[in-house]
Amino acid sequence: MALFERENADFRSDVATRALSVTVVENQFVEHVYDNLAKVYDLTFGPALHPGRLVAIERMGVRLGDQVLEVGVGTGINAALYPRTCQVTGIDFSAPMLEKARERVVSKGIENVRLMEMDAASLTFPDNSFDIVYAPYVISVVPDPVKVVQEMRRVCKPGGKIIVLNHFRSANPIVSRLERAISPLTLYIGFKSDLDLPGFLAQAEMKPVSIEKVSFPPIWSLITFIKQ
């Protein structure tokens, strides 16, 4: 189930300790939401979010033989975008979403993508396994976004890229208040609308090399990190 908390003093405390959202979720709730979205995800979120996906793939700069991990592969909508010269592992917590992804991979004859059911906050891969670790439109729905990005960093090779494509709360105070107010509702369509970017970066102890707005309207951020 989802538990909703009112805005409190945590939001006014230090950026490294304040709550990242007014909305608290559990894995069971997230799984239920995405199980329900599996049949309609491509129609509702496919075209609208596609420009951001294209920019993310371009920013990856995938090289011959690269090992890529996609966290939150969903219905496999990115599968055909990767160069066939790299090896892609896609993980997701939702079995129905993964079933759609498997159907897509088979129907398109994509042979360089493998799919696995896995919790993003507890990856089963060894340290330093992937050249690129990518989380598209998933960080704002997982119960613990900081733990997820820390796991992404753990399995990324030194010098490798960690890429997060996501919506974060606006710096505009009026828009920010609205995003906090509607966050418990947007969760039912797959994301928290009020995830705090400065707090997320500080608590994950991650320093991005770039942050850029993608898609239209420009409410989606593409964040790139290099693992030192």
Peptide bond into 136 cis (omega under 30): no
Angle between helical axes of 27-37 and 41-60 (0-180°, round to 10): 110
> Bridge partners of 195?
none
- Note the pTM of the prediction, 2 decimals: 0.88
Q: What's the domain range around 77?
A: 3-226
The CATH number of whichever domain residue 25 belongs to comes to: 3.40.50.150
pLDDT in tens, the chain (228 residues): 343 344 444 444 477 777 898 888 787 887 788 888 888 888 888 888 899 999 999 999 999 999 999 999 999 999 999 999 999 999 999 999 999 999 999 999 999 999 999 999 999 999 999 999 999 999 988 999 999 999 999 999 999 999 999 999 999 999 999 999 998 888 887 788 899 999 999 999 999 999 999 987 888 999 999 998
Residue 206 dihedral angles phi and psi, to the nearest 5° = -120, 135
Task: Say how many domains are in the chain.
Answer: 1
pLDDT for the residue numbered 26? 80
